[in-house]
Structure 1
Amino acid sequence: MLTLNHFFYKNEPGFMSAYLSDHLLESNFRSIFLLGANTATYKFALAKSLLKLSKSNATFVSLDDLTPIYANYLLEHVKTGKRQLSGKGTAKLLNALNLYDQGQISEELMLNITRAEGFKYVLDAFHNLPKKQKSLSFFEKGIQDKKQGIVLHDNLFEIFQSQDFSNFEFEIEGRWNLVESAWSEDQLINVKYDTNTENLYYLKPVSNNSFLNSHLRTNLSKVRYPLNGYQKGKCFYCLKPISIQSNQENTCDVDHLIPMSIQFGSMYDLQLNEVWNLVLACKECNRWQDGGKAGNLPQKKFLDRLHHRNEYLIESNHPLKENIILATGKMVKDRIDFLLKRYEFACTIRKPSWEPKDVFGDVF
């Protein structure tokens, strides 16, 4: 039987350090938009802008050339009406973007304000991580032909060639949607998972009445988008690279680590359809036709991996963090105990026997 001692959590390094312990460029790049602290969503827009530069071989990009790309990504989210800045303040840049969206100022003026206001802090803060840590550098500020801009590092060009490249934009978008939704509401968002659409959503109160339509369903993101980066783009079980785009050969499935069918053996709600129990798996590991897990219970070693994945999510500031804490406990030992109790109950119903046929790594 599993015990708390099974989990190595005493005196272990922070989960931020654990996430970066593989020293991979992909993990460093992901740490910027998945784990970095945010007071505005500018870092997400800049990260997506950097990915857009993959179509050019230029090593220097002026702020004049970067501005339209950067502004376009911000505008896409300003149009949603959701808050792009934490707190109650309103930045000059966001005012300009809103005025442009409403047709009250010209594109030229909007771009001039974006150029003047949009890069004041984000360029310096882009590589900053919580607890005074920094990611590896992907660019630095520079001047060429008397123009301000950024000098792209070799690290960024390697990211352009990474097998994970196609996933990054979706992962950025997933966290951006979660953060802006949390900032736009006055209270904690209770995130739900729809197994049919594979969407994360929340119910927003629209009236004080207790009838069916007193809550408005608001979609947050496809569940694959925010989860994939915390698994570093790998199948939860075999650690093979996966895609979160639809209709790809290696498009992943969403799996309940403790199968939902275990709920039928309990008179209490085990909360198995919540984010803490959702993982991304390749088709071979998930589908019974390929010898996958399907409704089987995986071996206990995967519970430790689930705990670490959840702690990665908790390092990040968005509603999934708060929902996992609310469901599983405020302290690490409480969250471990929560997982153990549910897994041990599942073992009384179904023998834990499944593991993947092939494994393509050690950890994520």
Structure 2
Amino acid sequence: MHDRFEDIDYWKAIILYGLNAATYKIALGKTLLELTKHNNESLEWSTLAKAYLDNYINRLSANPLPQQSNPSRRTVMERITTQLRLGTITYEEALGMVEREAFNDVIPRFHTIGVNKLMGAEKFYHFDHGKKLYLHDSLFRIHESSSGELYKELDARWSLLEGAFQMGHDNWDLANDIREIYIKKGTERTNITGNIPFLNGYQGNVCFYCGEQMAPSDIHVDHVLPRQVVMHDEIWNLVLSHSLCNLHKEDFLVGKHYLEKLIDRNENIMGSNHPWKHKISASLGATKVARAKSTYYHYENVRQVLGNRYWENSPTYNRATDPFYKKLITQLNNKP
């Protein structure tokens, strides 16, 4: 069944749909990509430990943020890097601790997609615990074709996990008038371009409106429901598009086929167990049915404000050929 998916689909599913109570899987993904560039088919455990430790040292040296969801605990890597920073252990001692303590869970569980241990099993490596990691051709292929994109996604996800681990819940007051609801719930317009790597993976790396690939220099973050009405930058309403598609859409109301796609994209995020899914759940509802209903509710509210000023779609868009719907992550999270 899954033979039709590409290596990069499995990688993105593994990274985007990890349970991620901590940052271990993200750090290991980045470490694997970094070590793959040396073209060695096997890695000594000590080599893996050094690259893994260096990633955490670089990550936590300037502005250390929490690396797991439980505020009363610290991860193994936080404890090791803290001791190293305080001078209570040497770098060599830290390496030994990483080799012994840091990989017991993440190495065996890296390939798990959500809670499914079989779908991606040994796709990118197999290992002899405590001794060697053996890299597979699939890892070399995605590094050669897409390493820049994957590095950006890993960095973005690491940052978003850290932020989510210390993120508080928003409290909003509602008003009676439709426009006032969105104004009261709204925020000042902020720079939302930092969401690009995060959104790209869940969107399938194509323009939301035309379904074509986007060049890194031509990616815009767009509000599906116009910001002039909703007055917020919540993630559930943000998508990526070409500048031209964004320009053509302007602040018109999209056709309902795009609203359906927005609902499906949000279910991709919900299926990932990323901490930001709780923000979507808080805004739209705890179940798939409730979230769809809420999204249509917002859509109808915006229609009342803007009237029937529709932008149906990009001239080249065809849902039947849209790569978004062919991606492993979309098919996993949007089953009937």
Normalising by structure 1, what TM-score? Answer: 0.75
**1:66 equivalenced with 2:48 (yes/no):** yes
Cα displacement string for residues 252-280 of structure 1 (whole angstroms, at most 9, x for unaligned residues)? 1000111123x1xxxxxx46531111101
Matched residue SS, 2:132:
strand
**1:122 equivalenced with 2:106 (yes/no):** yes
**What is the percentage of aligned positions where both structures have the same residue?**
28
Give the match for residue 224 of structure 2: 257
User: Which structure is higher in helix share?
Assistant: 2
Structure 2 CA distance for partners of 1:165 and 1:235, relative to 1, 3 Å: farther
- Given that 2:253 and 2:311 are in contact with CA atoms closer than 8 Å, whether structure 1 keeps it comes out as yes
Structure 2 CA distance for partners of 1:153 and 1:168, relative to 1, 3 Å: same
Structure 2 CA distance for partners of 1:184 and 1:339, relative to 1, 3 Å: closer
Give me the whole-angstrom Cα distance separating, in 2, the residues matched to 1:78 and 1:192: 33
**1:181 equivalenced with 2:163 (yes/no):** yes
Give the match for residue 258 of structure 2: 302
Give the match for residue 139 of structure 1: 125
Give the match for residue 205 of structure 1: none
- Given that 1:192 and 1:274 are in contact with CA atoms closer than 8 Å, whether structure 2 keeps it comes out as no
Give the match for residue 283 of structure 1: 243
Matched residue SS, 1:161:
helix
Cα displacement string for residues 93-128 of structure 1 (whole angstroms, at most 9, x for unaligned residues)? 432211112333222211221122222221101001
Aligned length, in residue pairs: 303
Cα offset for 1:36?
Answer: 0.9
Give the match for residue 44 of structure 1: 26
Give me the whole-angstrom Cα distance separating, in 2, the residues matched to 1:165 and 1:97: 27
For structure 1, list consecutive stretches of 5 or more residues without a partner in the other structure. Answer: 1-16, 200-221, 264-269
Letter matched to residue 313 of structure 1: I
User: Which structure is higher in strand share?
Assistant: 1
Deviates more, 1:168-177 or 1:251-260: 168-177
Give the match for residue 27 of structure 1: 9
Structure 2 CA distance for partners of 1:102 and 1:307, relative to 1, 3 Å: same
Give me the whole-angstrom Cα distance separating, in 2, the residues matched to 1:118 and 1:317: 22
Matched residue SS, 2:240:
strand
Cα offset for 1:167?
Answer: 1.7
- Given that 2:211 and 2:317 are in contact with CA atoms closer than 8 Å, whether structure 1 keeps it comes out as yes
Give me the whole-angstrom Cα distance separating, in 1, the residues matched to 2:262 and 2:3: 17
1:167-316 to 2 correspondence within 5 Å? Answer: 167-184=149-166, 187-188=168-169, 195-198=189-192, 222-243=194-215, 248-249=216-217, 251-261=218-228, 263=229, 270=230, 272-287=232-247, 292-316=248-272
Give the match for residue 279 of structure 2: 323
Cα displacement string for residues 195-217 of structure 1 (whole angstroms, at most 9, x for unaligned residues)? 44226xxxxxxxxxxxxxxxxxx
Give me the whole-angstrom Cα distance separating, in 1, the residues matched to 2:188 and 2:117: 36
Cα displacement string for residues 165-216 of structure 1 (whole angstroms, at most 9, x for unaligned residues)? 322122122222222233345x5478997744226xxxxxxxxxxxxxxxxx
Letter matched to residue 123 of structure 1: I
Deviates more, 1:166-175 or 1:345-354: 345-354
Structure 2 CA distance for partners of 1:193 and 1:153, relative to 1, 3 Å: farther
1:92-111 to 2 correspondence within 5 Å? Answer: 92-111=76-95
Matched residue SS, 1:178:
helix
Letter matched to residue 99 of structure 2: R
Higher-RCO chain (CA-CA 8 Å, sequence separation at least 6)? 2
Matched residue SS, 1:279:
strand
Letter matched to residue 99 of structure 1: Q
Matched residue SS, 1:330:
coil
Normalising by structure 2, what TM-score? Answer: 0.80
Structure 2 CA distance for partners of 1:171 and 1:92, relative to 1, 3 Å: closer
Cα offset for 1:344?
Answer: 2.7
Matched residue SS, 1:223:
helix
CA RMSD of aligned residues (A): 2.8
Structure 2 CA distance for partners of 1:113 and 1:128, relative to 1, 3 Å: same
Cα offset for 1:92?
Answer: 4.3
